[in-house]
Structures are given as C-alpha cells and as structure tokens.
Structure 1
Amino acid sequence: MSELTVGSPAPDFDLAADGGGRVSLSALKGRKVVLYFYPKDDTPGCTKEAIAFSGLADSFEEAGATIVGVSPDKAEKHDRFKAKHDLKVLLGADTDTDVANRYGVWVEKSMYGRKYMGIERSTFLIDAEGRIAAIWRKVKVAGHAEAVLEAVRELG
C-alpha cells in the first residue's frame, strides 16, 4: 500500500458513528472533510483535540467542512465520550482498524520499551472532489484545530 500524499484520492470509508448512525466519505462528497484519527476516547490528548475541534465546529461549518473523528473505539463508547464533553464533531468507529490501515495511520508504537500497534494521531483535509488537500502526521494537539481551520479556509 503506497503512502497517501496530497492530491491522492482519499480512500472511501463507511463506519458506524455515534448516535446510532453511519458516516461515509461518499455521502460527504461535495463538502470538505476534516478526517482526524485519534488513539482513544476519553484520554487526555484525545479529549483536548476533540474539544478543540468542537470549539471551532461553527467556523468549520461556515467554511463548508465536516469534521469526522475516527478511533478504534465502539460507537457506544463514542456516545458516552460526546455526552461527557459536549462534543460537536461526528465520531466514527473503526473497530477493525481497516480505515486507519488504508490511511496509513495504524502503526507500530513504543511505550516504556513495549511495542504495540496503535493510531498515529493524524489529520487529513479532503477537498469537495474527494482528494487529499493536506496531511498532518504525528499531530501535537496544541493549536492543531486552528491550523486545520486555516487550511480549510485557504482551500476556499
């Protein structure tokens, strides 16, 4: 599988989502999509990131973009995460990590000398035609949502 680059077609996905619904890239065609991958619901960095994107949700909407957060957690866990933190973003449940694999963000990680597979915090900006317009890998949460919003606005 070749690594995704700016200009590549974004791989389609269809995932169970919070609220009992589904989210798919094909259903969002014609809109810009901010697809952000995060390791786990209700952990410090992931919570900060989700709250940051939620805080700017109206601005993303005004810029014509839909925000979709994806982690391996189940949709029911996403429901609790959204309710607890009053999140305003759509959360997709990639329980088999198929989407994370297709986007190249399911990677070997290391903590305290132990190696394991997990999500590399990453964000993909997908244009209205379904092509990747920008990629952020190994995301640091501070200021990230603002940087993505700026890129969405520049995309026009």
Structure 2
Amino acid sequence: MADQVRLEVGDIAPEFTLPDADGKQVSLTDYLGKRVIVYFYPAAMTPGCTKQACDFRDNLADLSGEGVDVIGISPDKPEKLAKFVARDELTFPLLSDPDKGVLTAYGAFGEKKLYGKVVQGVIRSTFLIDEQGRIAAAQYNVRATGHVAKLRRDLNL
C-alpha cells in the first residue's frame, strides 16, 4: 500500500471549515480552548456508521462531562447528513467533506483493505484534539462497534 499521511500525538491538527447538516460552516478553530474528538466515517446511514454515531450520541453526556466535544466527518453531502441526524436523533455536529480534502489531511482517506482487496476509501479514524489544537490521540482503522468504550478506556475518559 502507498505511503499516506498518518498524524501522531503532538502534531498540530489540520485546520478545517466544513458545512454541517444544516449547511452552517463549522471550523476546528471554533473548538480552541476545548478538547474535541474528531472522527471520520465512510457513509451516513450505513449499519456500521449508524452504530458508531449512536454510540457517540449515547455517550455524549459523559464525554461532555469530561470536557470533550464530538464532531463526525464523512464525504456525505449536508442533505444526507440532515436525514441521518433526524433519523437517529444525533446531537453533535456531522460535517460534510465531499472533496475529501480534510479526510486526506488527517490520513483518513486512502488505500485500505476491503474484503482482501486494496481499495481507495475512507479509513475509519478517530482523533482527540487538545485545547491548543494538537493531536492528543490518533487511532486509525477503528471498529465501529464498541469504539467509544475502547476510546474512553484508552483516554481515561
């Protein structure tokens, strides 16, 4: 597989400004001074991505209690994200990155193995960004199911 970006602890998180499900622009700089989990997922309203999003939704109060916000990013258009938010009562921002520029900057788009074949696609990834905008944790190829519990254990949240 070809070399691609992999962010590491201590790196400055790549800045972004993307539309949310309502078309409102959301920037990483909006979260300076706070800790934020930014997670990348392949496609809204698919089984694995729904499990992962609902897992974050169900743990949002506890994460917020630890001073951590959550943002999800996928290549889906805002209209599809709006349906996803409404259908699953998601209570955190989902951002649209259809040109995959932010996904690529975070190393969350590129070559991956799918059913034994090498394909181009979204690499399910999660990052904890600290109050200064630096990567505090970087996890690639995460599992959709049980991810939030593992993340909370790994980060002592």
User: Scaled by the length of structure 2, what TM-score is found?
Assistant: 0.90
| CA RMSD of superposed structures (Å) | 1.8
Give a deviation string over 1:85-137, Cα, whole Å, max 9, x none.
Answer: 11122101011000011001111234456653211000000001111001111
Question: Does the alignment pair 1:34 with 2:37?
Answer: yes
1:128 is aligned with what amino acid? E
Q: What is the CA–CA distance in structure 2 between the aligned matches of 1:112 and 1:45, rounded to whole Å?
A: 15
- Residue equivalent to 1:6: 9
- Residue equivalent to 2:145: 142
Q: What is the CA–CA distance in structure 1 between the aligned matches of 2:65 and 2:51, rounded to whole Å?
A: 22
- Residue equivalent to 2:94: 91
- Residue equivalent to 2:54: 51
> Contact conserved, 2:5 with 2:104, CA < 8 A, in 1?
no
Q: What is the CA–CA distance in structure 1 between the aligned matches of 2:60 and 2:5, rounded to whole Å?
A: 32
> Contact conserved, 2:5 with 2:105, CA < 8 A, in 1?
no
Greater shift, 65-74 or 136-145, is seen at 136-145
> Contact conserved, 2:110 with 2:121, CA < 8 A, in 1?
yes
The structural deviation recorded for 1:16 is: 0.5
Query: Any stretches of 5+ residues in structure 2 without a counterpart?
Result: none
> Contact conserved, 1:39 with 1:72, CA < 8 A, in 2?
yes
> Contact conserved, 2:48 with 2:145, CA < 8 A, in 1?
no
- Please state whether the residue corresponding to 2:22 is helix, strand or coil: helix
Q: What is the CA–CA distance in structure 2 between the aligned matches of 1:109 and 1:2, rounded to whole Å?
A: 13
- Please state whether the residue corresponding to 1:135 is helix, strand or coil: strand
Greater shift, 110-119 or 32-41, is seen at 110-119
Q: What is the CA–CA distance in structure 2 between the aligned matches of 1:58 and 1:150, rounded to whole Å?
A: 16
**What count of residue pairs does the alignment treat as equivalent?**
154
- Pick closer, same or farther for the CA change 1:112–1:23 going to 2, 3 Å: same
User: Scaled by the length of structure 1, what TM-score is found?
Assistant: 0.90
Q: What is the CA–CA distance in structure 1 between the aligned matches of 2:8 and 2:50, rounded to whole Å?
A: 27
Q: Percent identity?
A: 40
Query: Any stretches of 5+ residues in structure 1 without a counterpart?
Result: none
